[in-house]
Structure 1
Amino acid sequence: MTSQVIEDEQQFYSRAQSYWKRVPPTVDGMLGGYGHISSLDLSSSRKFLQRFLREGPNKPGTSCALDCGAGIGRITKRLLLPLFEVVDMVDVTEDFLAKAKTYLGEEGKRVRNYFCCGLQDFSPEPGSYDVIWIQWVIGHLTDQHLAEFLRRCKRGLRPNGLIVIKDNMAQEGVILDDVDSSVCRDLQVVHRIVRSAGLSLLAEERQENLPDEIYHVYSLALR
């Protein structure tokens, strides 16, 4: 549990905010120096998401998606805008959202809102989103705040809407990273938080072909 590894919650959040303010607003910056894995990551994400968009009567719509921890819009640009009519982005770092407006190019006109906010304080508009995509950011929330955020996301879904978490998973327990002030949880812990938020796991997939030295990365589809 994060309560066992985070001594000061306020400091946990403020240190993360300070860390990201120092990160260059580039794809390489968003991926901690692993910019070369971006295409591989996005290609796998597209296949994972399209399984649901193509399936029968309970498939999500394609009107509106939300990109959480969006950074400069790497996922918005290459995954969400090609599949959805409009996209909203939320990120805690103002400079990233400012950069997104040029990085996204012409298609960025279909980004409806740029919300500058930490996810612990963010509430998606109820009944607004077909898909809420949450990638490489849950480690910046405490267990309690993550569960509360997921409950708010559930309320933010349109009929047949879907929440996708894609993130690093530890082999066991919860590991604190002092560099960027985040935690990495094992799958069991994430499953427990998901259940406590009143969500069901529809599918789970491990990302293949990543460098050996980084954490295992899993995608979880929730509803």
Structure 2
Amino acid sequence: MEQPDWYSNAQAYWTSVEPTVDGMLGGFSQVDPIDVAGSLAFIDEYVHGVKGVNNTIKKEPSLRTHYACDCGAGIGRVTKHFLLRVPFDTVDLVEQTPIFVQQAKDSYLADDIQAGRVGQVRCQGLQDFQPDDNKYDLIWCQWVLGHLTDDDLINFFKRCIKGLAPGGLIGVKENNSTQNYVVDEEDSSVTRPNDALKRIFTAAGLTVIKEQVQQGLPAGLFTVRMYMLKPCSSSDST
């Protein structure tokens, strides 16, 4: 995982992938609506609150929806199908593969860019990404963090904490292995077990305030977990 060509190998792999939804999902485009529905349900209580019996307010909304950042965005599938449907006013994207960025700008997100709902589309690896300070209500990271080494992932999260607006949160949706790290040499990625991810969150100064397994995915795939994270120093209610 620490080899010098870790990131360049990942770049080479993704450059060979077709810039389509099917390409983004490794040939499993049928999981897109299942994935999106799971993410929307996961975030709903933070955006809309929770109602009890007789429409009483059980939990107030706690997340503003001005700015979101889609990390490892590919062509913008998660932005278009999830984050813009939350809805966030503006979504920035970070993606290291130039052909994906070009596809997002020229075609897949062209209408959303024209409407001003997609802001920056940055061609950059997450190991180098520095968000603007105090900008984002939500930084969402999905099926990408396995490309970062443990040390780079901790540092990435520390930078993301500085990029959160007051009350902002970090969302993570990733594959989980059962026990040990599972390394994929083909695309230079590692699948981490749940407890390893949690150790990384803690080392970065983050607290898990919600954790949930994505349901309805095809048999034989890794377990997929969603985590909502807030900075340990945050006094916001959970």
TM-score by length of 2: 0.89
Distance 2:213 2:43 in 1: 14
Instruction: Give the conservation status (yes or no) of the 8 Å contact 1:58–1:160.
Output: no
Does residue 165 of structure 1 match 2:169?
no
RMSD after superposition: 1.1
Residues 76-103 of structure 1 show CA distances to partners (whole Å, capped at 9, x for unaligned) of: 1011122111110000101101111211
Instruction: Give the conservation status (yes or no) of the 8 Å contact 1:60–1:159.
Output: no
Deviation at 1:112, TM superposition (A): 0.9
Residues 44-87 of structure 1 show CA distances to partners (whole Å, capped at 9, x for unaligned) of: 10111112112355711110000000000001101112211111
Give the match for residue 90 of structure 1: 94
Q: Which amino acid aligns with 1:61?
A: R
Distance 1:136 1:174 in 2: 15
How much identity, in percent, do the aligned residues show? Answer: 43
Distance 1:156 1:190 in 2: 21
Does residue 74 of structure 1 match 2:81?
no
Give the match for residue 104 of structure 1: 109
Residues 178-214 of structure 1 show CA distances to partners (whole Å, capped at 9, x for unaligned) of: 1111000000000000000001100000011111111
Deviation at 1:154, TM superposition (A): 0.9
**Alignment: residue pair count:** 217
Does residue 180 of structure 1 match 2:187?
yes
Which segments of structure 1 move beyond 6 Å, counting only runs of 4 or more? none
Distance 1:33 1:19 in 2: 15
Distance 1:57 1:43 in 2: 22
- Partner SS state of residue 154, structure 2: helix
Distance 1:34 1:192 in 2: 30
| Gap runs ≥5 in structure 1 | 1-5
Instruction: Give the conservation status (yes or no) of the 8 Å contact 1:165–1:219.
Output: yes
Distance 2:61 2:37 in 1: 24
Distance 1:92 1:213 in 2: 29
Q: Bigger CA drift: 103-112 or 177-186?
A: 103-112
Does residue 22 of structure 1 match 2:27?
no
Distance 1:84 1:7 in 2: 36
Give the match for residue 153 of structure 2: 146
Q: Bigger CA drift: 101-110 or 194-203?
A: 101-110
Whose helix fraction is larger, Structure 1's or Structure 2's?
Answer: 1
1:54 alignment partner, one of 40, 43, 48 = 48
TM-score by length of 1: 0.94
- Partner SS state of residue 119, structure 1: coil
